[in-house]
Chain A
């Protein structure tokens, strides 16, 4: 499976600032995804990062708050804009890889733990 890294691994930020999270994959992948995992909760998909076009956002998430870049097939960034304490979460990127049975499986980066004061 693909090897995925994220930067930063954690950060503590002030209210009103923005943070850009980077996701790097060691191979070219078509599909990259950004998830949020709030404390004590399961994962929620924020958006699908499409190479060469705008990201596709899930209900409840908007581009102004979570702008995403996908400049090539191995890299993506997620920005958390104008942060508030409610944005404190783990942010994870994932990539889709073809499984044995032709159904694609997703593999996750190590996550970015964000605390907003």
Chain B
């Protein structure tokens, strides 16, 4: 099993849709989790940090289920500008373990 595994993409959704990405991790001792966003040909940028059961920031909600070792990212009311690759990231022993990323394409 991969250390961090994400939903395969791409997700193609219309503007205004709600979309959810899933991520599972193998190390039950992990304490914190991150979602990064990476635009085409750009560096990853931190979108949300998740330390407890979840986090909400505007249209974005991240949820954590420690028992199932599962993190999700929910995007409500999708905008064209949300089109990007979303990376699930789990820190472990001082380094970041990246999932393979899920590509989102929001269409008009």
The answer on a CB contact under 8 Å between A42 and B49 is no
Interface residues of B in 22-45 (CB under 8 A from A): 31-32, 34, 41-45
Given contacts A41-B100, A111-B43, is CB(A101)–CB(B51) below 8 Å? yes
B1 contacts chain A at the CB level, 8 A cutoff = no
Q: Is the CB of A108 within 8 A of B45?
A: yes
In the complex, the answer to whether A108 meets B51 with C-beta atoms within 8 Å is: no
Min CB distance B25 to A, Å, is: 14
Cβ of B94 under 8 Å from chain A: yes
A33 an interface residue at 8 Å Cβ cutoff?
Answer: yes
List chain B residues, Cβ under 8 A from A113.
Answer: 41
With an 8 Å Cβ cutoff, the count of chain B residues facing the other chain is: 20
Asked whether, in the complex, the Cβ of A48 is within 8 Å of the Cβ of B44, the reply is: no
Partner of B46, one of A58, A107, A110: A107
Contact A48 B49 (CB under 8 A): no
The residue on A at minimum CB distance from B34 is: A105
A92 is an interface residue with CB less than 8 A from chain B:
yes
Question: Which residue of A1, A42, A58, A105 is within 8 Å of B87 (Cβ)?
Answer: A42
B49 contacts which chain A residues (CB < 8 A)? 99-101, 103, 105
Residues in chain A near residue B43, CB distance under 8 A: 92, 108-111
Q: Which of B32, B95, B96 is the one whose CB lies under 8 Å from A101?
A: B32
Decide if B32 touches A48 in the complex (CB within 8 Å): no
Asked whether A31 is an interface residue with its Cβ less than 8 Å from the other chain, the reply is: yes
- State whether A42 and B99 are in contact (beta carbons under 8 Å apart), knowing that A101-B51, A111-B43 are contacts in the complex: yes
In whole Å, how far is A70's beta carbon from the nearest beta carbon of chain B? Answer: 15
CB-contact partner of A42 in B32, B42, B46, B101, under 8 A:
B101
Chain A nearest Cβ from B73, distance in angstroms: 16
B14 contacts A by Cβ under 8 Å: no
A19-60: CB near B (< 8 Å → 1, else 0) gives 000000000000101000000011111001000000000100
Q: Which of A41, A42, A48, A108 contacts B95 (CB 8 A)?
A: A48
